[in-house]
Chains A and B, each alone.
Chain A
Amino acid sequence: MKFLKAVFNFFVGDWIILIGVAVLLVVIALLEQTTHQDLLAGFLMIAGLIAILAFTLRREVKPKS
């Protein structure tokens, strides 16, 4: 458990980023496999990453909201 925690902290150290990126990549992969819309997938990827960053930063300001 301590080792897993060290690995987690080394790579990301933030559950919101980890889960957010994982969910986003699954969505993009599904979108690419079904529609092959590169522009849409690319836009969603960039927008999603910025949204994840904004969300985790907001949690730092207002942790209980």
Chain B
Amino acid sequence: MFWSSALSAFLASIVEFVEALTIVLVVGVTINWKSALWAAVAAVGTLAVLVGVFGTALVAFVPIVALRLIVGVILIMFGLKWLKKAIMRYSGLKALHDEEAIYEEEMRAMRARGESLPNKIDGFGFATAYKSVLLEGLEVAFIVITFGSSAATNDADKTTSLLAATIGALIAGVLVIVAGVLVRGPLTKVPENTLKFSVGIMLTSFGTFWGGEGLGIEWPGADLMLIALVAIYLLASAALVYWLKSLNQPTAPESRSISSRDPLAPLRKEEGL
């Protein structure tokens, strides 16, 4: 199961890294790199403290069966949340989460604020980048701890499994940062909805598997059941997209609110800005 914790952490983390990097790039380009990079460093430092305190306690004291149930339930909720959004986007009920659109809207909003401060840390830019990196980083940390802790078959394997998940997430982070540095622009080439849909399927499948085990269910085929779960949720999601398309109405409230009134609505809604 170690490969699965590394791969799952990699796939789940890369989405969060893309979102965080988009905001950091915006702050860096429009205000200054000092604000953006120091905010990112401060957020990573905060995360390191949080993971150091709570991550260690989690590994040392939480029984693995109870952990699987808790983690399974949380993964199910994460997975259903992501799947819901992805299915809505595929069925035309919500605008696709376009990184380029977010990038341009954020640039416009920041330019409208007035002069940039090239040599000083700007409060707004710092807060924006810090908040975004902290939020997305917390999700990455959560993904690493949950995947890493749950993939272990016994308490002794927890550390190795956590390391595998951490490596998966680190590779994702390095890849996204390198890509961001190379292109220095909107990360539109990453098919975000496809990624989110895939991650939603994986989170729900792993959540069902681990949550079920935590409740005492012995799945037929053991770990192979994960493949069946992925297939089942893929088919169900495809059917739901088809069903929603047939029910789709042009006056759906969410599509109205996102499409026109406030161009920053999708960003604020997703990032809590």
- Residue among A32, A33, A61 with the highest chain B CB neighbour number at 10 A: A61
A61→B272 CA distance, assembly (Å) = 24
Q: Which residue of A lies closest to B88 (CB)?
A: A60
| A45 lies within 8 A of B80 (CB) | no
| A46 lies within 8 A of B232 (CB) | yes
Partner of A50, one of B81, B212, B236, B249: B236
Q: Assuming the A-B contacts A18-B77, A21-B76, A60-B93, are A53 and B249 also in contact, with contact meaning beta carbons closer than 8 angstroms in the complex?
A: no
Which residues of chain A are within 8 angstroms of B88 by Cβ–Cβ distance? 57, 60
Q: A11 in the interface, Cβ–Cβ < 8 Å?
A: yes
A18→B218 CA distance, assembly (Å) = 24
Q: How large is the interface on A (under 10, 10 to 19, 20 to 34, 35 or more residues)?
A: 20 to 34
Partner of B215, one of A11, A21, A29: A29
A17→B74 CA distance, assembly (Å) = 11
Q: B253 in the interface, Cβ–Cβ < 8 Å?
A: yes
Q: Which of B194-236 contact A (CB under 8 A)?
A: 204, 208, 211-212, 215-220, 229, 232-233, 236
Partner of A60, one of B74, B77, B81, B252: B252
| B254 lies within 8 A of A17 (CB) | no
| B76 lies within 8 A of A32 (CB) | no
| B247 lies within 8 A of A62 (CB) | yes
Q: B15 in the interface, Cβ–Cβ < 8 Å?
A: no
| B217 lies within 8 A of A17 (CB) | no
| B252 lies within 8 A of A61 (CB) | yes
Q: B97 in the interface, Cβ–Cβ < 8 Å?
A: no
| B212 lies within 8 A of A12 (CB) | no
| A14 lies within 8 A of B229 (CB) | no
Which residues of chain A are within 8 angstroms of B247 by Cβ–Cβ distance? 58, 61-62
| A42 lies within 8 A of B93 (CB) | no
The 8 A CB mask of A4-39 against B (1 = contact, 0 = none) is: 001001111110011001000100110011001011
Partner of A46, one of B84, B208, B248, B252: B208
Q: A54 in the interface, Cβ–Cβ < 8 Å?
A: yes
